[in-house]
């Protein structure tokens, strides 16, 4: 059975904003995200349909807080909360937050490519 730990997962993003470790499991991606600063995802999601993430995620907030903004609402998750994020959201996080998420790889990859390009255009390392 596939398994991993945060320490074993390869780092795929190491930027001032966040560190992301990622492992793919048979069509799903497991992602460990650590946010180093307060961050509003609005600028990096511009250009995606509706300027929002179009990938669903299932996650757990390990520490801190994550807010997901939808066109019609905002949802807030705190340390210990498990959540489902349907497509159509923009994340807003606080410094020190850690999140573990599972996402369908085929839907996640185009989003991650867009985010990497947007971060590079803003002068951030991805």
What is the C-alpha to C-alpha distance for residues 103 and 123, in angstroms, rounded to an integer? 27
Query: Which residue ranges in the chain fall short of pLDDT 50?
Result: none
Choices 2.20.25.90, 3.40.190.10, 2.60.120.10, 3.90.1300.10: CATH for 11-121: 2.60.120.10
Q: What's the pLDDT tens digit per position in 82-96?
A: 999 999 999 999 999
Q: What's the pLDDT tens digit per position in 93-107?
A: 999 999 999 999 999
């Amino acid at each position: 059975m596939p398994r991993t730990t945060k320490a074993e997962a390869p780092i795929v993003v190491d930027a001032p904003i966040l560190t992301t470790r990622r492992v793919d499991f048979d069509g799903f991606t497991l992602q460990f995200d650590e946010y180093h600063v307060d961050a509003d995802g609005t600028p990096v999601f511009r250009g995606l349909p509706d300027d929002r993430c179009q990938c669903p995620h299932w996650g757990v907030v390990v520490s801190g807080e994550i807010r997901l903004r939808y066109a019609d609402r905002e949802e807030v998750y705190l340390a210990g909360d498990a959540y489902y994020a349907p497509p159509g959201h923009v994340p807003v996080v606080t410094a020190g937050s850690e999140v573990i998420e599972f996402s369908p790889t085929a839907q996640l990859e185009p989003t991650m490519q867009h985010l990497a390009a947007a971060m590079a255009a803003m002068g951030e390392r991805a």
